[in-house]
Structure 1
Amino acid sequence: MRRKRTTEDWILDTLITMILLIVVFITLYPFYYILLITFNSGSDTTMGGMYLWPREFTLGNYIYFIEDPKWVNAFLITILRTVVGTVLAVFFTSMVAYGLAKRDLMFRKTYFFIVVVAMNFSGGLISFYIVLKSLGLINTFGVYVIPGMLNLFFLLISISFFREIPEELGESARIDGGSELRIFAKIVLPVSMPLIATMSLFIGSGQWNSWLDSAYFVQNENLRTLTYRMMQVINQSMVPTGDAAAASMSRSQVTPFSIQATAMVVSIVPILGVYPFLQKYFVSGMMLGSVKG
């Protein structure tokens, strides 16, 4: 029997709804405001007082972004490093985890000790730079993807996940003559889609948003990433004098701030486009390693 709603219930529901609406507004409005800036004249935006819709609607910010080879190249480099870096990191991390999940692996405890030490202690930026330079990765595209090919955090989670896969699946494949690589590719990976999707989402987001490696280890302007270009615009806007190009831009319909906002919108769209395809695996993937069967 349905209980009759009292005045206290209505008050409580109204209060909860209002709180949730406020939280949603606080969360979404900054994104809407950035989108608003991209469709408004840059010179008009600097005047302030724009909150709900563009005062001087224009597509000039996006046209400037598309026509500027510097921004287009940075966008393509970011896409390339995200795709290649994610594929390599997921593949090698899952392969190493599959091997370490075998309880009869020789020196298994030693490998685990190395992983734990590497997760908690770092040699520092200078040591990391020396290693990259000795490997010939400085000022190359490889500096974006090779250092992150093994993700230690997801390595431990993957080991926990692979241990839950019944050994009988692999044994039956070995009886039929299947190699370990074939077992990994044909049996282990297909049943590990929640793990793979979760790893891909987090590693891909990290690759997409990373800019420190582009700032510290790359001098070739053709290898700069989108996030690094955004950081450049922020730094230029903080300099009072600025260079001639920034001054010329500020007098036009496009300003450094409007281009920065446009780059932010462009950088958000790919992540929003990928997330719906991985959403069905995301919740189950987040629980990996936390529940034992």
Structure 2
Amino acid sequence: MSTTVAVTGASGFVGQALVAHLLASGRSVRALVHRQSLAMNHPALATVQGSLSDDAALDRLMAGACGVIHVAGRVRGRDEADFLPVNAEGAARVARAACAARTVTRLVLISSLAAREPGLSPYAASKRAGETRLAEEVARGGNLGCAVLRPPAIYGPGDQELLPLLRLMSRGVVPMPGVAGARASLLHVHDLARAALCLLDSPAQGIFELHDGHEAGYGWDEIATIVESVAGRGRGWRLRLPEAMLRSVATVNLLAARLFGYLPMMTPGKVNELRHPDWVCDNTELTRATGWQPEISLHVGLCPLLGAAPVKPREGRSNAT
């Protein structure tokens, strides 16, 4: 029986952590890489060059694999025309190729919590559409088991999005773009990788959310307080960012992106996401289905990232910060 797992988006932040966990578990990995090469070598790791729009590359990726974890996606863009071909049609193509490969019995999609609120932004809408398109292809294909993970904001080694903000907080400047009372869950990338493996080995189907064990999520001030504790500094400067200012910056950035042809992160849709009051997840269904539980609290996860002394991860279920 094959132990090879096919992985898309393997050279990205989440993909690299996932590949490392798969290899450490004793499995072989076949990784789809596009523009960026995979910065690791292992005798059980093979790569396939190509994109989600390359059906031949997807067929090579799936050949002989027992399972697929689909990570690849686009997080920067101007409108649906930038997001949908990758996040929706790409997911459909992966599912179609997995269904066509006779050896593949399991497919796990790493989506985004943003898919819970598709009306907020083109990105959120594209992630929901990707879940829908993938499910349609799986239903059409027959006997493939499928599960979807919707992680919240992810941080960890190699993070290029959230980590710069956390490091700014550690230096005493705390931007606060959210609305009063807003709360959000967080998750370390290694706990996300573990969850994906648990779902891969499970017969569970459906959509699952997950968080780091802090059940009520975090407010911006709570995150800053934990960062300051890890960094060993006093209370930093809380800088509230008015909505009007955020929207002005986002509008100008979107216009510039359309003029100069780059893919922006800060857009009006991203402001909607930042100011949404509830990004809190619930681990209950995932734990019930797979036994997975988070191991890395925010305080523990931040120590090596901010240069503090490491702390041993908690054992078993805990809601401590």
Same fold (TM over 0.5): no
Q: Would you tell me which structure has more strand in proportion to its own residues? A: 2
Q: TM-score range by the shorter chain?
A: under 0.3
User: TM-score, normalising length from structure 1?
Assistant: 0.22
Which one scores higher on RCO, CA 8 angstroms, separation ≥ 6?
Answer: 1
Q: Would you tell me which structure has more helix in proportion to its own residues? A: 1
